[in-house]
């Protein structure tokens, strides 16, 4: 990559081009630097967690690929995350799953996990200046093998998962309190049927009852924000998913909690960018699982696609930055896992940078005046504005590599660390 002088010169030229459009580049950079992205821990180990030596099982999700070097312990996962974070501009958050508990080798059932099992994670987050978010793990477990958890007709199983949900809220609240920033604690369950059910109602009635039990205890929203995530289908739950989008949209509105929109959880031609302003008409806040669906898979690494740009534009244009919690959710075991985090997170930030560099007022005026010709012309011209120069400048200012320089660091880390891991 070019030296700092060239980056600054190129930036200066870009700054002038944006100024001609009435865009204040410094202000845009300032806005971008305040946006925290929640990095999901599970990209680092193919959604395995530390409970057993077996991999991800059940739940209708799958990590494919056999790239060497996945993290096998919490320490390895933290070191990998540190590497990734050092290559991403800005201050961000860590999104942890319950199955990443550290129990000192003791078997602790999921309904018995407590904040102390996450104290190393919390201390690490504090040291690294990260906020934390949290998720119950309602899959990869013998009690999820039937395909039903919170909506199970087996009262023992249903209760077990309700207790897990309650435990997770306590852990989330402890994380929020310790770190001084609310922890978004998300519930996603895999429950559903492969083939056409006769009773669609029963499981949904039971899921509502379970959620009511989990959320019965009022918690301080200063530390804990509850969220629920729907889905259209999973592997092995193609015909029916209990926790559908409509189910959770209704639940979130009725109970004043967050709805999680996962970009890979809808019909292929349906996009979440169009849903943001709809659901925020009724909800205070939402959580995003930014992901990339490709055919049957909902979890490819995020790239700077049209839809990613549209998501960022909606957040910025709607002035929703305070109300939209941006989390990532993808897992690819076929490429370097640290690189996957860096690519996905940097793309999310690039999309947000493009959005804050937009002359939105001008575009709005054209639209409001019925001048759709200008609207389309401007939107297309914006695509070839020198945004890359602003991005490189921003990276340099934040002390992270500009351009593709980060890849060398990942390669070096691979040579020294991850490629030495066996099994
Ligand atoms: C699954 C959901 C869920 C998971 C993570 C691991 O389809 O998207 O969010 O990906 O909890
Ligand atoms: Zn998700």
Percent of the chain with pLDDT over 70: 99
Split at pLDDT 50, 70, 90, the class of 57 is: confident
Beta-strand ranges (E) seen in 80-230 are: 93-97, 131-135, 183-187, 192-193, 224-229
Residue 423's pLDDT is 66
Is 262 an annotated catalytic residue?
yes
Cα atoms in the Cβ-side hemisphere of radius 13 Å centred on 411: 5
Read off the pLDDT of each residue in 114-119 and give the average, rounded to a whole number: 98
Q: Which ligand is nearest to the CA of 288?
A: 2
Determine contact, residues 303/343, Cβ cutoff 8 Å.
yes
Sort 262 into a burial class: Cβ within 10 Å, 0-12 / 13-18 / 19+.
buried
The CATH T-level fold of domain 36-358 is: TIM Barrel (3.20.20)
- 3-state secondary structure at position 151: coil
Give the position of tokens 């369950």.
189
113 token code pair: 């996990």
Mean pLDDT (whole number) for 127-138: 98
> Is 80 exceeded by the pLDDT of residue 101?
yes
Task: Say if residue 83's pLDDT is above 80.
Answer: yes
Q: Is the CB of 188 under 6 A from ligand 1?
A: yes
Please state the domain extents for the chain: 36-358
- Cα Rg for the chain, rounded, in angstroms? 22
State the Cα–Cα distance between residues 323 and 69, nearest whole angstrom.
Answer: 37
**What count of other Cβ atoms lies within 10 Å of the Cβ of residue 271?**
17
Residue nearest to atom 3 of ligand 1 (CA): 188
- pLDDT for the residue numbered 159: 98
- List the one residue out of 402, 401, 395, 405 whose CA is nearest residue 29: 395
| Active-site pick, 265, 275, 325, 350 | 265
Of ligand 1's atoms, which has the minimum distance to the CA of residue 229? 9
Q: What is the pLDDT of residues 20-53, one digit of tens each?
A: 999 999 999 999 999 999 999 999 999 999 998 8
Q: Which two tokens stand for residue 118?
A: 């996450």
Could you confirm whether 405 is annotated as catalytic? no
Quick one: pLDDT band at residue 333, thresholds 50, 70, 90?
very high
Integer CA distances (angstroms), 297 to 102, 159, 332, in order:
30, 31, 11
pLDDT score, position 67: 97
Give the pLDDT of residue 2.
66
82 catalytically annotated? no
pLDDT value at residue 52: 85
């Amino acid at each position: 990559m070019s030296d700092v002088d060239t980056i600054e010169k190129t930036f200066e030229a870009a700054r002038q081009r944006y100024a001609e459009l009435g865009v204040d580049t410094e202000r845009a950079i300032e806005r971008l630097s305040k946006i925290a992205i929640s990095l999901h821990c599970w990209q680092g180990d193919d959604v395995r967690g530390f409970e057993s030596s077996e991999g991800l099982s059940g739940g209708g999700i799958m990590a494919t690929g056999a790239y060497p070097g996945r993290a096998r312990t919490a320490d390895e996962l933290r070191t990998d995350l540190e590497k990734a974070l050092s290559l991403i501009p800005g201050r961000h958050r860590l999104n942890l799953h319950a199955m990443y508990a550290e129990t000192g080798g003791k078997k602790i059932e999921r309904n018995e996990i407590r904040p102390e099992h996450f104290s190393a994670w919390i201390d690490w987050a504090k040291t690294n200046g990260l906020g934390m978010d949290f998720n119950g793990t309602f899959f990869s477990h013998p009690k999820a093998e039937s395909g039903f958890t919170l909506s199970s007709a087996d009262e023992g199983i249903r209760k077990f998962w309700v207790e897990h949900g309650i435990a997770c809220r306590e852990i989330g609240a402890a994380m929020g309190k310790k770190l001084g920033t609310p922890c978004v604690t998300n519930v996603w369950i895999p429950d559903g049927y492969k083939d056409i059910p006769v009773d669609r109602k029963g499981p949904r009635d039971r899921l509502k009852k379970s959620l009511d039990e989990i959320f019965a205890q009022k918690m301080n929203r200063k530390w804990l924000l509850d969220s629920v995530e729907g889905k259209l289908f999973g592997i092995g739950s193609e015909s029916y998913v209990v926790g559908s989008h409509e189910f959770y949209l209704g639940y979130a509105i009725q109970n004043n909690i967050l709805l999680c929109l996962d970009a890979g959880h809808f019909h292929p031609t349906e996009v979440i960018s169009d849903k943001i302003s709809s659901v925020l008409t009724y909800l205070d806040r939402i959580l995003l699982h930014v992901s990339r669906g490709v055919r049957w898979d909902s979890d490819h690494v995020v790239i700077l696609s049209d839809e990613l740009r549209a998501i960022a534009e909606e957040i910025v244009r709607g002035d929703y930055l305070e109300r939209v919690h941006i989390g990532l959710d993808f897992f690819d075991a076929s490429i370097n896992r640290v690189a996957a985090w860096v690519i996905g997170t940097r793309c999310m930030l690039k999309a947000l940078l493009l959005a804050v560099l937009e002359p939105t007022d001008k575009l709005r005026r054209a639209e409001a005046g019925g001048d759709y010709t200008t609207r389309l012309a401007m939107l297309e011209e914006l695509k070839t504005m020198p945004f890359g120069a602003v991005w490189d400048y921003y990276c340099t200012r934040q002390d992270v590599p500009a351009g593709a320089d980060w890849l060398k660091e990942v390669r070096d880390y691979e040579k020294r660390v991850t490629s030495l891991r066996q099994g």
